[in-house]
């Protein structure tokens, strides 16, 4: 994990914690960044989903992989959502996608592309 002088990982938790730190420094009138001390990212671990029922979780003191890490990833991410309605709708959408083998992402990998300003993309600029 990052220490003094090291870079923070490019992940949402690090960005959120860094933002909270900067907001605290700015909100203290008459104090500069030096008075606040260096930003230190607590080692909270990492989660990554790889595919259907496949993920990894590394919390330093424990490492989990496979289906248990995939379920943990889902529960943690739903827990960070704001509002019960968002949590329930996300769980219903994920459950439906799981049952129907629905893909969550569409990638354009071919050589063909839609030209900007064409009838297929009316709102784009030429």
Query: Using one digit for the tens of pLDDT, what is the confidence trace for 93-125?
Result: 888 888 888 766 666 777 665 555 555 555 555
Angle between helix 84-99 and 67-79 (nearest 10) = 150
pTM attached to this predicted model: 0.57
The residue that leads in pLDDT, 90 or 24, is 90
User: Strand order of the sheet with strand 63-65?
Assistant: 46-51, 54-58, 63-65
* Residue 58 CA to its chain's centroid (Å): 15
Q: In this model, does residue 4 exceed pLDDT 90?
A: no
Q: Sorting pLDDT into bands at 50, 70 and 90, what band is 1?
A: very low
Query: Using one digit for the tens of pLDDT, what is the confidence trace for 8-63?
Result: 666 777 788 888 888 888 877 665 555 667 777 777 778 888 888 888 988 888 89
């Amino acid at each position: 994990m990052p220490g003094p002088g090291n870079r923070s990982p490019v992940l949402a938790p690090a960005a959120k914690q860094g933002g909270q730190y900067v907001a605290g420094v700015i909100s203290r009138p008459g104090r500069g960044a030096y008075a606040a001390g260096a930003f230190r990212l607590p080692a909270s671990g990492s989660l990554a989903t790889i595919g259907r029922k496949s993920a990894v979780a590394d919390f330093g003191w424990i490492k989990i992989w496979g289906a248990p890490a995939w379920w943990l990833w889902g529960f943690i991410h739903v827990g960070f959502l704001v509002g019960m309605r968002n949590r329930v709708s996300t769980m219903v959408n994920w459950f439906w996608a799981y049952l129907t083998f629905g893909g969550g992402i569409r990638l354009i990998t071919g050589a063909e592309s839609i030209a900007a300003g064409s009838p297929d993309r009316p709102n784009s600029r030429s």
